[in-house]
Structure 1
Amino acid sequence: MIIDTHLHVIDPVALDYPWLAGVPALNQAWPYATYELEARRSGISQSLHMEVDVAAEQIEDECNYVKTLAERPDSLISGAIASCRPEEPGFAAYLERQRQDSFIKGFRRVLHVVPDELSEQPLFRENIKRMSGSGLTFDLCVLPHQLPQAMALADLAPDVTFILDHCGVPDIKGEARQPWHDNVAGLAKRPNVMAKISGVVAYADPESWIAETLRPWVEHTISSFGWDRVVWGSDWPVCTLGGGLMPWVAATHALLEGVSPEEKAKLLSGNARRIWDL
């Protein structure tokens, strides 16, 4: 079975998502019930909810909302990666509140929508170091040219586990191998960084990609990080921009054809279970 480490639920009635106005294809409700049916049909047995960059004042409201979904009978959701603002003075108090909640497994601050220098600010870096010893992970959602900033953050807090989202967001449609290729390999040299095999269908040509289109990008990520440092994510509903959840799951199985059962199990569930104590 599969543990999905990257589910987004979008409920415009409950929460505000300012960024959705710029993405018409996603600017609607994407309820948990719709995901759940597809997920179960695809062999997904457990999910982590990934923050959806709600309005800043609603960050903790989103956590509470996701808990209500997790409390449903037989819910797939077993934890959440919460949004955060390490660039703000209130982060320290926020971190302490979230440390008390076992449902919260980690944090993410989307960095590809902000200036590159945000993560270089002293307060941002100080707050990332505050996470040491918390047991919480930090997802790195960056563009290929921002991977050096990701390396710097990983070096700042060697006791924090960082998760590289979406294979480093490669431009698959444009076949832009550099600087992505070398920067992913460089980030993988940091032993406290893991990689998430997710999102790539949204970066390929939605009309023509097949599993082999994705292979060089996925295989380079896995070979750079190794089988003990990779996890899998659906990136639902963003994956619908590239065909949807079930085609991505099918492509994943095609890409894993020939690997050992142990390696496959690590990527699809075992590593996630270990990293987030699921």
Structure 2
Amino acid sequence: MAAVTDRLIVDAHHHVWDLTARPQPWISGEDLAPLNRSFGVGDLAPEAAAAGVSATVVVQTVCVPEETPELLALADGSDLIAGVVGWIDLTAPDVADALAALRGQPGGDRLVGIRHQVQEEPDPGWLLRPDVQRGLIAVAEAGLAYDLIVKPHQLPAATLAAARLVGLTFVLDHLGKPPVADATLEPWAANVRKLAALPNTVCKLSGLVTEAAPGRGRPEDLAPYADVVLEAFGPHRLLFGSDWPVCTLRADYSEVVRIAEHLVERLSPGEKDAVFRRNALRVYRLQPPGRVTTGD
């Protein structure tokens, strides 16, 4: 029988966008100017291959219904993209039907999660609204995960939402955007620990380099924040994500991978494999990527 081996890395969080299809309103100001162009899978693929990444999860960037079908179609024609975290209007009365419609589109089998830009909502308790809760129940019933993109002051509401909806896996993006630039931990750390105490929550080790002030994205600057989530969630509830191309504001793709490897260097080989591969496969129910035969 042929032996089977798996490549090492699944990138659980990156983006693509095409400015000829639609604008990205969040890209504004001089600091984000380098992102003000189109980024596609063709740009990512060689960098991912060089870093040992064999599969990825692409994540929505704008809250419009047209984007998710496009991402699904992109995944359907890609050997790299294994999953899509898309967007739907969680407050709409037909959430279940909308999810079923996405599943029926080309690439619909690669829909693995839903996300909304909660960080932009003025109401810190947006996730607790009855119409939003109804939408989240539909996401859970569809067997999908829910990605949390929140700022630190929104973590208490996220924790209460996760406590109410025990059948839904909540995936915290970018560690909940800790105050890395201010070199402070609290109250972010205490609130992250409360979220992590719930068994239906996981966390992406992603986005740290862009939260740091320019020139302060070294592993030693980021380690205090990584240590908090390593302790709180444990290595079997952490997922590596590059946050490409946003990460390129501070570091290139391979450097982001190297920084993440440094931040978890004290883990055992099995625990590292969980962070960089197995947890993403489990949480997003991905097909194991990069399987190759090595002989009889």
TM-score bucket (shorter structure): over 0.9
1:212 maps to which residue?
A: 220
Cα separation, 1, equivalents of 2:176 and 2:115: 14
Matched, 1:92 2:100: no
SS in 1 for 2:109: coil
- CA distance change for structure 1 residues 246 and 163 in 2, over 3 Å: closer, same or farther? same
* Offset of residue 53 of structure 1: 1.3
2:37 maps to which residue?
A: 28
* Offset of residue 157 of structure 1: 1.1
Match of 2:26 among 8, 19, 26: 19
2:205 maps to which residue?
A: 197
Matched, 1:174 2:178: no
Match of 1:106 among 103, 109, 113: 113
Deviates more, 1:62-71 or 1:223-232: 62-71
* Offset of residue 89 of structure 1: 3.1
The total of aligned residue pairs comes to: 273
SS in 2 for 1:213: helix
1:275 maps to which residue?
A: 283
* Offset of residue 8 of structure 1: 0.2
Matched, 1:5 2:12: yes
Q: 1:176-223 CA deviation, whole Å, 9 max, x = no partner?
A: 311101000000011000011000000112323211111110111111
The 5 Å alignment of 1:44-193 reads 44-54=53-63, 56=64, 59=65, 61-72=66-77, 75-100=79-104, 101-115=108-122, 116-193=124-201
Verify the 8 A CA contact 1:203 1:242 in the aligned structure 2: no
Could you tell me the TM-score, scaled by structure 1's length?
Answer: 0.92
Q: Give aligned-pair identity as a percent.
A: 33
* Offset of residue 27 of structure 1: 1.8
2:5 maps to which residue?
A: none
- CA distance change for structure 1 residues 85 and 124 in 2, over 3 Å: closer, same or farther? same
Q: What's the C-alpha RMSD, in Å, of the aligned pairs?
A: 1.7
Verify the 8 A CA contact 1:8 1:49 in the aligned structure 2: yes
Gaps of 5+ in 1: none
Cα separation, 2, equivalents of 1:141 and 1:16: 20
SS in 2 for 1:18: coil
Deviates more, 1:162-171 or 1:117-126: 117-126
Match of 1:40 among 30, 38, 49: 49
Cα separation, 1, equivalents of 2:222 and 2:175: 11
Cα separation, 1, equivalents of 2:133 and 2:168: 13
SS in 2 for 1:132: helix
Matched to 2:84, the amino acid is A
Cα separation, 2, equivalents of 1:122 and 1:208: 41
Cα separation, 1, equivalents of 2:214 and 2:136: 36
**CA radius of gyration, larger in:** 2
Could you tell me the TM-score, scaled by structure 2's length?
Answer: 0.87
Cα separation, 1, equivalents of 2:217 and 2:140: 40
* Offset of residue 119 of structure 1: 2.1
Verify the 8 A CA contact 2:240 2:260 in the aligned structure 1: no
SS in 1 for 2:116: strand
* Offset of residue 272 of structure 1: 0.8
Cα separation, 2, equivalents of 1:274 and 1:35: 24
